[in-house]
Structures are given as structure tokens and as C-alpha cells.
């Protein structure tokens, strides 16, 4: 046999060709190994305010991704914006529902009681001159239909499923009477703190709020009339995080405040773009999650992401059974959720796609049951107004919408801001997704 140095040009060429073939085989073997890994494409769908982005935040925490310093700074700004939005919404709702500041639902409903509740703060009429320190903006959605001359219309009896009726009891009527007797929106006396906050329909203070604004917000949230207005928040659009942030506004608005994971989970940022996140389930499986905006105006963006979807997590805020829809105040949010679910679940493209339904915000749902009967909004509900029977009712309503018997529908009752609870649910969901993916590949 010839040594390497004695090879003829022809032999050298054949050796080089053999090495090239070996190299190509190794590349093909590597690619074949890669082909055994797979990506599970998952869509997070649901109407607005259902909790999709909160679930995505939890996925990040579960996978150890956490939040970057830039993201934390953005969430701090979002929390400040949430607080300001909640204050302005409540201010406008006080006028829309005709509730005077200092009103006590459990009192004798006399004007003197309202004045007494505002003491010892000096009372001053509303002065538009204070507006110079603020900037005005249009009235937030969700309370426009309550202003003006449509009071009687808003009090119509519930005639169809899910309709939201304006409160019409002795307390609400007393509040309206006292509101008018005190001078209505323009002439009733206010403490200075309320005057500062009321001077504009939109408050833009930046990230650093001065001490007078902080005190005004603290005073505002402690007002008994504001608390009564808050108790009727199903009649207008108010963020679920309102009480969480306003009850400790001084901390959240402090100059050195940095949000915790729970604060970030509570913060609300409306999704107006499609975000893609990738999570490693195991060494060969990647979960690719698309979070899309749930508002009606955002749903036209969904279609391009329907291709090759392995599963859909559809979120429904079960607590929304007594609330109005943001885009259509004549529509009950739960009815909107069910209509949207039916259109997605029964879409021909998703005939064989697993549907995982998160009936979310069970904590708020459970709290509401004591004062807001399900049957008031859904007459077909005839059970006890309990958590067990309420969740069973809405679960059955959802499963009945599925027109494909062969389709799998998995329903979970979730509390998206509770990391322990949602982590357990998401762990189960990962197992379902992995099993479905392997089955689709013929490996199970």
C-alpha cells in the first residue's frame, strides 16, 4: 500500500471526494437528529380583559426567564398609568351614576350626613381653573352610555340573557337624589383633594407625582361615596387591578418603588401587537406561544397565526358574567366570550385542534357571588348561587358550544395571578400538549 505522500493525483482526488461524502453524511445525520425535535405552536386567545397576558407572564416565570430591568421599568410606568386610569374612571363614574362624594349607603341618606362625612376638610366648589395643572382627554369608554339623558334607558329590566341593568334600588335612588340636591357635577362642594383630581377627565403627571397628588389619591380612595361607586363597577369599565393598586397607592407611586413579580402580574397593559415567546419544554420540544390582542379591533390580526396550530388556550374571565363588554356596552362580557369561543372552536381549520379553556379569575368570581346572583344575568341558571354550581353551569355552557364530537375540550378553573395555582395547571397543560404533539407525529 502506498503511503500518503506517494498518492497519485487520481488517488488524492478520490480520497478528497470520500472525505467530502463522509462530511455530508455527518451533516445529514445531524440534521436528522434535529428533525426529531419539534415545535408546538400554541395560540393564546380570548376576549379583552380575560387574562391572556397574565398567563404569558406566568409562563415566563415558570421557565425561569423572569423580567429584564427594562421590562420592570416598563411595568412600573404601567402601574402608575393603571392607577391614574382607575382614578379618572371612578371620577367620571361618580357623575355618570350620580353619586355624591361622602355618600354612605348604610346611613340615613341625609345631606347633612354627606357634609359630615367630608369634614373636617374645607368644602369648595369645583373650580375649572385647577385644570391648568392637568391635561384633558375624552371620557373613558364604559361610562359614556351612563351620562346624558339616557338614565331611564339604562334602567330597563333585564329581558335577554346577559343584559346588564343599571342599579335601581332605594340606595341608588337616594344617591341620585342627594347628588342633585348638592348641585350635581358642577356645583356640589368638594374637598380640595377631590377638586384637584376632578379638574380634568385625564390626569397626566409623569412618573413622579408630587405629595399633594399622592394625598389626594389616598383621600379619594377612602371616600365612602367612591367605595359605593366601586361596588357598582360592573356597570362601567374598570380595571380588575383597581383595588390592589389604589389601596396602597402611596407605595406604588413612591419615587423609589420597583414592582415585585406579583405587582407585575397585576399590572394591565393592553395587548395591541402579536407577541411570540418560545419556551423549552424538554431537550427536543419547544413551545411557541403567540399572545394576541383580545379586543374586537385586534381580532383581524389572528388569522395569519392559525396555520399549523397544535392547540389553543382560550381564556374566559368567568367573573365577567355580570359585566358589560368594552366594545359594545349592550353586550354582556360572558356572552361575548361564549360567542367568540364558538366561532373559534367550530372553525373548520380547528376541527381536530385541542381546545384548552381557562375559566379565569375564579377569585373575583367567588367574591362576586355573595352580591351578584348568576340567575340575574343568566335566567337558565337554576342552581344554588355557589362556586361549585356556578362553575359547573358555565363549564357546561362552554362544552355545549362544541360541534365536533371528536374534538378534545379541556376546561380548567384558574386564578392567573396565583403563581402556585396557575403553575400546577400549566404543568398539566404541557403534558397534554406534549402528548398530542407526539401522537400527531405518530410516535404514540
pLDDT of the residue at 14: 59
Active-site residue, 391 included: no
Partner residues linked to 289 by β-bridges: 42, 277
In the set 49, 88, 263, 336, the catalytic residue is: 49
In the set 193, 223, 235, 291, the catalytic residue is: 291
Active-site residue, 54 included: yes
Active-site residue, 268 included: yes
pLDDT of the residue at 213: 82
Residues of the chain with pLDDT under 70: 1-37, 108-160, 162, 164-165, 199-209, 271-272, 293-306, 434-444
In the set 227, 295, 391, 421, the catalytic residue is: 295
**φ, ψ (nearest 5 deg) of residue 237:** -95, 115
In the set 268, 329, 414, 436, the catalytic residue is: 268
| 277/155 Cα distance (integer angstroms) | 45
Query: Which whole-number Å values give the CA distances from 60 to 270, 275, 278, 378, in the listed order?
Result: 18, 13, 9, 36
pLDDT of the residue at 38: 74
E strand or H helix at 55? helix 52-62
Cβ-in-10-Å burial (0-12, 13-18, 19+) of 288 comes to: middle
Matching residue, cell 367568540: 340
pLDDT of the residue at 389: 97
Per residue in 424-437, pLDDT (tens digit) is: 888 777 777 766 54
pLDDT of the residue at 353: 83
Active-site residue, 261 included: no
pLDDT of the residue at 8: 63
pTM over 0.85? The answer is no
User: How far does CA 253 lie from the centroid of its chain?
Assistant: 22
The answer to whether residues 146 and 95 touch, using CB atoms and an 8 Å cutoff, is: no
| 422/418 Cα distance (integer angstroms) | 6
The CA angle 59-60-65, to the nearest 5 degrees, is: 150
Query: Which whole-number Å values give the CA distances from 126 to 107, 110, 123, 129, 384, in the listed order?
Result: 25, 21, 10, 9, 47
E strand or H helix at 400? none
The answer to whether residues 86 and 246 touch, using CB atoms and an 8 Å cutoff, is: yes
Active-site residue, 49 included: yes
Amino acid at each position: 500500500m502506498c503511503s500518503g505522500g506517494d498518492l497519485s493525483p487520481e488517488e488524492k482526488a478520490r480520497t478528497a471526494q470520500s472525505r467530502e461524502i463522509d462530511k455530508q453524511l455527518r451533516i445529514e445525520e445531524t440534521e436528522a437528529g434535529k428533525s426529531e425535535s419539534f415545535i408546538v405552536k400554541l395560540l393564546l386567545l380570548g376576549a379583552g380583559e380575560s387574562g391572556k397576558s397574565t398567563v404569558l407572564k406566568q409562563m415566563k416565570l415558570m421557565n425561569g426567564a423572569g423580567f429584564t430591568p427594562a421590562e420592570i421599568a416598563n411595568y412600573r410606568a404601567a402601574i402608575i398609568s393603571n392607577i391614574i386610569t382607575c382614578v379618572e374612571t371612578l371620577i367620571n363614574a361618580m357623575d355618570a351614576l350620580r353619586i355624591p362624594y361622602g355618600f354612605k349607603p348604610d346611613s340615613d341618606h341625609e345631606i347633612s350626613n354627606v357634609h359630615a362625612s367630608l369634614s373636617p376638610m374645607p368644602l369648595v366648589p369645583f373650580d375649572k381653573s385647577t385644570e391648568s395643572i392637568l391635561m384633558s382627554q375624552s371620557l373613558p369608554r364604559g361610562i359614556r352610555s351612563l351620562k346624558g339623558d339616557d338614565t331611564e334607558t339604562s334602567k330597563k329590566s333585564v329581558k335577554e340573557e346577559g343584559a346588564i341593568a343599571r342599579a335601581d334600588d332605594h340606595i341608588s335612588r337616594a344617591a341620585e337624589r342627594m347628588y342633585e340636591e348638592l348641585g350635581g357635577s358642577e356645583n356640589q362642594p368638594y374637598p380640595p383633594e377631590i377638586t384637584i383630581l376632578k379638574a380634568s377627565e385625564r390626569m397626566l403627571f409623569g412618573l413622579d407625582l408630587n405629595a399633594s397628588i399622592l394625598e389626594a389619591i389616598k383621600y379619594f380612595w377612602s371616600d365612602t361615596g367612591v367605595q359605593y361607586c366601586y361596588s357598582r363597577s360592573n356597570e362601567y369599565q374598570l380595571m380588575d387591578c383597581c383595588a390592589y393598586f389604589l389601596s396602597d397607592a402611596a407605595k406604588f407611586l413612591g419615587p423609589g418603588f420597583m414592582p415585585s413579580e406579583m405587582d407585575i402580574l397585576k399590572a394591565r397593559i393592553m395587548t395591541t401587537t402579536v407577541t411570540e415567546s418560545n419556551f423549552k419544554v424538554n431537550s427536543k420540544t419547544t413551545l411557541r406561544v403567540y399572545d394576541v390582542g383580545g379586543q374586537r379591533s385586534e381580532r383581524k390580526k389572528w388569522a395569519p397565526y392559525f396555520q399549523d396550530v397544535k392547540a389553543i388556550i382560550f381564556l374566559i374571565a368567568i367573573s365577567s358574567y355580570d359585566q358589560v363588554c368594552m366594545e359594545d356596552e349592550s353586550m354582556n362580557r360572558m356572552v361575548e366570550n361564549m360567542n367568540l369561543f364558538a366561532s373559534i372552536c367550530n372553525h373548520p381549520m380547528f376541527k381536530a385542534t385541542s381546545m384548552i379553556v381557562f375559566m379565569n379569575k375564579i377569585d373575583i368570581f367567588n367574591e362576586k357571588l355573595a352580591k351578584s346572583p348568576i340567575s340575574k344575568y343568566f335566567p337558565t341558571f337554576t342552581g344554588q348561587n355557589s362556586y361549585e354550581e356556578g362553575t359547573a353551569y358555565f363549564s357546561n355552557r362552554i362544552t355545549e358550544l362544541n360541534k365536533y364530537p371528536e374534538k378534545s375540550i379541556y376546561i380548567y378553573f384558574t386564578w392567573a395571578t396565583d403563581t402556585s395555582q396557575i403553575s400546577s395547571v400549566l404543568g398539566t397543560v404541557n403534558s397534554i400538549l406534549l402528548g398530542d404533539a407526539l401522537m400527531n407525529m405518530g410516535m404514540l
